[in-house]
Amino acid sequence: MDRLNVTQKLIKSHLVDGEMRSGAEIGLKIDQTLTQDATGTMVMLELEAMGLDKAQTEISCQYVDHNLLQTDNKNPDDHLFLKSAADRFGIWFSRPGNGVSHPVHTEHFARPGKTLAGSDSHTPASGCMGMFALGAGGLDVAFAIAGEPMYLKMPKVLGVKLTGKLPDWVSAKDVVLEMLRRYDVKGARGFVIEYYGPGLKELDTMDRHVIANMGTEMGATTTVFPSDDEVRRFMRQNDREDEWEELVADEGAEYDEHDEIVLDEIEPLIALPSSPGNVVPVSEVEGEPIYQSYIGSSANPGFRDFWITSEIVKNRRVHDDVSLDVNPTSRQIIENMVKSGVMLYLVQSGARIHQAGCNGCIGMGQAPASGRNSLRTVPRNFPDRSGTKEDSVFLCSPETAAASALTGKITDPRNLEKLFGMKYPKYREPEDYIINKEMLLKPSSNGEKRELVKGPNISTLPEFEELSDFKVPVILKMGDDISTDEILKAGAEVLPFRSNIPEISKFSFTVIDEQFYDRAQEVKDKHGGHIVVAGDNYAQGSSREHAAIAPRYLVQRAVIAKSYARIGWQNLSNFGIAPLEFTSDEDYDAIEQGDILQIENIREQLKSGEEVVVTNISKGTEFKTRHTLSGRQLKALLDGGIINTFKKELE
């Protein structure tokens, strides 16, 4: 490998363990971390359990952007806990309302050539500026904060060449929806997506953020853009030009797979309910009535996205049947919206302005009315994620959402010319853009002595036993592409329990089966646990480790799936649940909910190779499963989770 692409350069410069051979486990030095509140409380409890003194990274920042509704003491108690923990462990603290972690991190901390690990699956967004940014479960991020490497399978690189020019009314969101149309929700698993080519000059850094952010939706390990003059401009705008460095692929660098997007050929696209992979041209669903248009989130976080919305609705009024919900992504963006008049046009049009944060993107407010269509610029529309049961959420660009807010039905924004005589507003970066870092609090130098402020809802981490043989029932059989939103749902009712495992475990799998918790309790006493079975791409989506810890707390012993999503799979072994894979579709088909499965000598079987034999006691059959865990992961699994391994090593 002498001529390297950007991904290979980033990996090579941070490789501390393993070989750069595709599929082999590698360990990378992590320079920066980000945690957000919904996953961060667990990370801080994990750091406490590990007895960490001070973060060992160059920069770690704790954001408060998810659990912002304060309907009782729980969320505000968590905010205070996180503030005290950040100071105690030497971590920056982004105050509630300061904004969504990914864009704020990109603006103020992300650096070309560095690595970032974040306890949020959209951390790859910072790949927009030549960074290797990985989403991970909280425990992996806790270890990164403690200075440990981040482990992953050496990815392949999918090089996507961008050529041409974006047509009017088409923007970065349509580019990534085009990728989702091609790759669906699992087509980029095992790959880093690296964009290059002359079309890059059509996309500024925040446009690239849109694309890098939603690479996660294709299952990619991460997404990488080069650090070029545009990134330099962006860093200059953010008062950080001195931190810029160029990072581009070597002349003639190769990619494992190739694709190309001719930007001129892209049209406005939309993902239909309830998967980001259900992409069709907007024109195909035009005319469907809508209830809501939602602007904001880490998937369309730039000032431009709010500006274009305001230009479309300026001097007009949103349709009487539509709620136009605007969620600025940061306090800095709010300031710029106010200064530039964007806020005035939005308010005059009838938009509802919310505080800076993730808000409705994870169902923290702004749930749509039953049976009504909601158009959102957010990254995900998994079932019930909005907070409304059997919701109908579409994903689209701000142009499409704003056009539809005016007409009250799904509208191809290109038709605004015909409908309202509107010309496509051409965006130019404001020259006097306001930069505001004041709500980013630097940790004090002697924080080690600081007491952790724990409200009554913050419970300590449960302890788990070592892995042992079992004979337990299958209490749930699921299909393909089960998201973590279905395993452990988001939403305003559940998110406040993120620092209380016993309580949050009551919501395990309720999106799929309301009786799951009761059944799990029943079989816990009778059989000593349970197992669940799934199809392809199990645990896709969010990085929330609660989708492993909560079922583990209900004594889940193993999952048998056709295949897994990267982070979900890692989280299972981190918490002592065996992630096994079917070796044939027939074995999956043959299992029924209620079957009793037995695995004997599980420890020896796992240690002696990839194969693990399972007996279906109810059917009187036997079938083979396999695992692809590394030696390191296996050790954690056998110990009953990586915290146990860590504690053992300290003894």
Which residue lies nearer to ligand MIC by CB, 571 or 644?
A: 571
Site string for ligand MIC, 134-153 (x = CB under 6 A): -x------------------
Q: Give the H/E segment covering residue 308.
A: helix 303-313
Tokens of 281: 């041209």
Give the residue closest to ligand MIC by C-beta. Answer: 542
Tell me the H-state helices in 162-244. Answer: 172-183, 205-213, 229-237
Nearest CB to ligand MIC, comparing residues 388 and 411: 388
Token reading at 303: 């000032």
E strand segments, 225-381? 257-262, 269-271, 279-281, 292-296, 323-327, 352-353, 373-376
Residue 337 or 567 with smaller CB distance to ligand MIC:
567
Nearer to ligand MIC, 121 or 329 (CB): 121
Q: What part of residues 624-643 is at the interface with ligand MIC (CB under 6 A)?
A: none
Phi, psi of 23 (to 5 degrees): 95, -20
Q: Which is nearer to ligand MIC, 153 or 544 (CB)?
A: 544
Closer CB to ligand MIC, 67 or 293, in the complex:
67
Classify residue 291 by burial, with Cβ atoms within 10 Å: 0-12, 13-18, 19+: middle
Is residue 39 a contact residue for ligand MIC (CB under 6 A)? yes
**DSSP category for residue 536:** S
Nearer to ligand MIC, 91 or 125 (CB): 125
Selection from 483, 622, 589 nearest residue 121 by Cα: 483
Distance CA 92, CA 104 (A): 12
Contact flag: residue 540 with ligand MIC (CB under 6 A)? no
490 binds ligand MIC (CB under 6 A): yes
Identify whether the C-beta of residue 401 lies closer than 8 Å to the C-beta of residue 319.
Answer: no
Element (H, E) at 504: helix 501-504
Question: Residues 51-90 vs ligand MIC: string with x where CB under 6 A?
Answer: ---------------x------------------------
Q: CA 407, 397, 277: angle at the middle one, nearest 5?
A: 115
CA–CA separation, 606 and 208 (whole Å): 42
Please identify, using beta-carbon distances, which residue of 104 and 318 lies nearer to ligand MIC.
104
Binding part of the chain for ligand MIC, among 466-474, 509-517, 542-550, 630-638 by CB under 6 A, reads: 542-550
To the nearest whole angstrom, how small is the minimum distance from the Cβ of residue 394 to ligand MIC? 17
Q: Which is nearer to ligand MIC, 96 or 413 (CB)?
A: 96
Report how far residue 326's alpha carbon sits from residue 349's, in angstroms, rounded to the nearest whole number: 12
Beta-bridged to residue 327, according to DSSP, are: 296
**Number of DSSP helices (H) and strands (E) in the chain, helices first:** 22, 27
Among positions 542, 633, 644, 645, the unique one binding ligand MIC when judged by CB under 6 A: 542
Q: Cβ(179)–Cβ(141) under 8 Å?
A: no
Query: x-or-dash pattern for ligand MIC, window 366-395, by CB under 6 A?
Result: --------------x---------------
Residues constituting the chain: 651
Q: Minimum distance between the CB of residue 66 and ligand MIC, rounded to whole angstroms?
A: 6
Site for ligand MIC in 585-604 (CB under 6 A): none
Span of 54-62, 241-249, 333-341, 538-546 interacting with ligand MIC by CB under 6 A = 538-546
CA distance 591 to 638: 26
Nearest approach in angstroms of CB 137 to ligand MIC is 9
CA distances (Å), origin 591, targets 478, 567, 613: 11, 26, 14
Binding residues with ligand MIC: total (CB under 6 A): 14
Contact residue for ligand MIC among 11, 28, 30, 38 (CB under 6 A): 38
Binding mask 326-365 for ligand MIC (x = CB under 6 A): ------------------------------------x---
Question: Which residues lie closer than 8 Å to 271 by C-beta, 6 or more apart?
Answer: 177, 180, 277, 278, 279, 381, 394, 395, 396
Q: By CB under 6 A, which span of 136-144, 515-523, 541-549, 636-644 interacts with ligand MIC?
A: 541-549
Stretch that binds ligand MIC, among 6-14, 175-183, 535-543, 601-609 (CB under 6 A): 535-543
In a 3-state reduction of DSSP, which class is residue 326? strand
Site string for ligand MIC, 104-133 (x = CB under 6 A): ----------------xxx-----------
- The token pair at 193 is 């997506």
Comparing CB distances to ligand MIC, the nearer of 138 and 413 is: 138
Which residues are near ligand MIC by CB under 6 A? Answer: 38-39, 66, 120-122, 135, 362, 380, 490, 541-544
